[in-house]
């Protein structure tokens, strides 16, 4: 898949722009605060209907405007031209694909696989457990409709059980069977995904970091050792008193942990800032390689000023691993070195929300 042209109106600092993007590599260059990241955010919203910067799309509307609109002409995997648009006004989002409204964003996930490399990705390594859990869930949802549906159903049942805990405790047990069955399936799929991820990520880190460190992702399920839904149901019944005290379901796949380990030591406690940043970038590259391995397809990738902290050698090595994509959008500062191997790319200057081809 490749975006051929992207149009933006009243989005952040971009009043109106129509940018031709018919190239494999698109480099947006400009000083900070000019609109480079805003453009990447617009691409991401076109792919998923949501932003990687905010959960409230109202914050992305240009100052003093009522809403924003984004649209793109793109070439699908069969060489056919299609059109996607997303608009937001009066607090409502509207997504149109080839003239038909999209009612469930799930329809977009498998049409527009997109992976964004952003500064906050460093939290995959040094952040809270829910950050890594979210990373792996998003990675798996990108290729598996079954995992996506099971995760959505689990969250719904969990919400209902938590509501019962707070309002009608006598109904808690009604949700345990379904919660256990879904959780067991999700645990199995997560364990398989971590195994596959560990076939990719550790070798990448060892080679590009030059440290020889053998890292691995360790999956620690909340319901560890439980192999049947009946066993999980019994456990949920045994922890009802604790759940009532905490006003929440205190065990389940929403409490699972994914840890980046060096032997038995959490990597976040011994890695340097540079190593942790590199590790977070390699998480995203591994996600891209995992997606291609599982689907045979290539994602669109967005890289937002994430290479600044790398030296030239590591930057070159990292970029060389980014070969498996259908299209890539990068943001760079004006005098920043882009590619060391003579890679051809379209360069676009960004100045106060105005885009000019270089």
* Residue 40, domain member (yes or no): yes
Residue 12 lies in a domain: yes
**Residue 91 lies in domain:** 1-113+297-358
> Is residue 217 one of the residues assigned to a domain?
no
Residue 51 falls within a domain, yes or no?
A: yes
The reported pLDDT for the residue numbered 312 is: 80
CATH number where 89 lies: 3.40.50.300
Answer whether residue 108 is part of any domain.
yes
Mean pLDDT for back-to-back runs of 10 residues, the chain (358 residues): 96 97 94 96 97 95 96 93 96 96 90 94 94 97 95 98 97 96 98 98 94 95 97 97 97 98 96 93 96 95 88 83 90 77 83 93
Domain count, the chain: 1
Give the pLDDT of residue 319.
83
Phi/psi of residue 95, nearest 5 degrees: -115, 130
SS3 string of the chain? Answer: CEEEEEEEEEECCEEEEEEECCCCEEEEECCCCCCHHHHHHHHHHHHHCCCCCCCCHHHHECCCCCEEEEEEEEECCCCCEEEEEEEEECCEEEEEECCEECCCCHHHHCCCCEEEECHHHHHHHHCCHHHHHHHHHHHHHCCCHHHHHHHHHHHHHHHHHHHHHHHCHHHHHHHHHHHHHHHHHHHHHHHHHHHHHCCCHHHHHHHHHCCCCCEEEEEECCCCCCCCHHHHHHHHHHCHHHHHHHCCCCCCHHHCEEEEEECCEEHHHCCCHHHHHHHHHHHHHHHHHHHHHHHCCCCEEEEECCCCCCCHHHHHHHHHCCCCCCEEEEEECCCCCCCCCCCCCEEEEEECCEEEEC
pLDDT 10s digits, 186-233: 999 999 999 999 999 999 999 999 888 999 999 999 999 999 999 999
pLDDT attached to residue 53: 94
Is 279 a member of any domain? no
54 found inside a domain: yes
Please give the pLDDT value at position 338: 67
| 275 domain-assigned | no
pLDDT computed for residue 42 by the predictor: 98
């Amino acid at each position: 898949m490749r975006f051929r042209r992207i149009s933006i109106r009243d989005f952040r600092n971009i009043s109106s722009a129509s940018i031709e993007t018919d190239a494999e590599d698109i480099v947006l260059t400009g000083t900070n605060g000019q609109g480079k990241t805003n453009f990447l955010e617009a691409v991401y919203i076109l792919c998923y209907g949501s932003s990687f910067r905010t959960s409230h799309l109202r914050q992305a509307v240009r100052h003093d405007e009522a809403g924003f609109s984004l649209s793109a002409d793109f070439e699908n995997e069969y060489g056919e031209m299609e059109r996607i648009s997303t608009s937001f006004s009066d607090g409502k989002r509207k997504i149109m694909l080839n003239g038909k409204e999209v009612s469930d964003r799930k329809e977009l996930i498998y049409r527009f696989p997109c992976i964004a490399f952003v500064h906050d990705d460093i939290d995959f390594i040094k952040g809270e457990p829910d950050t890594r859990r979210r990373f792996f869930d998003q990675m798996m949802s990108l290729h598996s409709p079954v995992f996506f549906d099971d995760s959505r159903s689990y969250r719904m049942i969990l919400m209902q059980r938590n509501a019962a805990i707070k309002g009608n405790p006598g109904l808690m047990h009604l949700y345990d069977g379904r919660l256990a069955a879904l959780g067991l399936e999700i645990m199995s799929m997560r364990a398989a995904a971590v195994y596959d991820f560990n076939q990719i990520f550790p070798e990448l880190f060892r080679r590009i970091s030059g440290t020889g460190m053998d890292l691995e992702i360790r999956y620690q399920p909340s319901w560890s050792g439980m192999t049947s839904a009946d066993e999980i149901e019994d456990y949920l019944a045994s922890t009802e008193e604790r759940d009532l005290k905490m006003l929440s379901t205190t065990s389940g796949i929403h409490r699972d942990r994914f840890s980046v380990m060096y032997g038995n030591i959490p990597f976040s406690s011994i890695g340097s800032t540079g190593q942790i940043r590199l590790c977070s970038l390699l998480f995203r590259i591994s996600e891209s390689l995992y997606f291609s391995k599982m689907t045979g397809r290539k994602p669109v990738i967005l890289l937002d000023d994430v290479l600044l902290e790398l030296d030239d050698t590591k930057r070159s090595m990292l970029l060389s691993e980014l070969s498996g994509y259908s299209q890539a959008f990068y943001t760079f500062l004006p005098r920043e070195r882009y590619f060391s191997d003579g890679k051809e790319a379209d360069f676009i200057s960004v100045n106060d929300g105005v885009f000019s081809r270089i």
